[in-house]
Amino acid sequence: MSFKYTIEETQLEGVKVFTPDKFTDYRGTMWTYWEKDMDTPPHKISKFTHSRKNVLRGLHGDNETWKHITCVYGAFYLVVVDYREDSPTYLQWVSFTLDDKNCKSVLVPPGFLNGHLCLSDECVFHYTQSYPNEYVDWKDQISVKWNDPMLKINWPIDNPILSERDK
């Protein structure tokens, strides 16, 4: 069985939204998250993050890593920020609501930051990463405060649950 998907470009160059065709019957739903012919770099690692409602993770990123992000359970609000100083869209951001019903995924290129807020009681954030050399450890990543006034991000929360790193 072959599945198709649509690709939507965003106002930030390289940030793409993939919306899969889904097959649904009495057993449930099936869709494709990734295949080798998609317009993404090959994945090197796959990770999951489980969060509770109102947990906000981010903003994080680096200049080498591609991320392909989706929601496999619940719902979250995803923000992607262009952090490339030489870009015409430097410090601009886009946001998406990803959930286990729309099955969308977002491709985040190197030089961009991303953060997400869990909207449902629980959510599972799944992302794959691609990078040219070694994995960029979190201690070497760029971190920007979620509510940095330069970014003016419209998060749907005023007082999220944060890690020490993200405070």
Catalytic residue numbers read 60, 127
Three-class secondary structure assignment of the chain: CCCCEEEEECCCCCCEEEEECCEEECCEEECCCCCCCCCCCCCCEEEEEEEECCEEEEEEECCCCEEEEEEEECEEEEEEEECCCCCCCCCCEEEEEEECCCCCEEEECCCEEEEEEECCCEEEEEEEEECCCCCCCHHHCEECCCCCCCCCCCCCCCCCECCCCCC
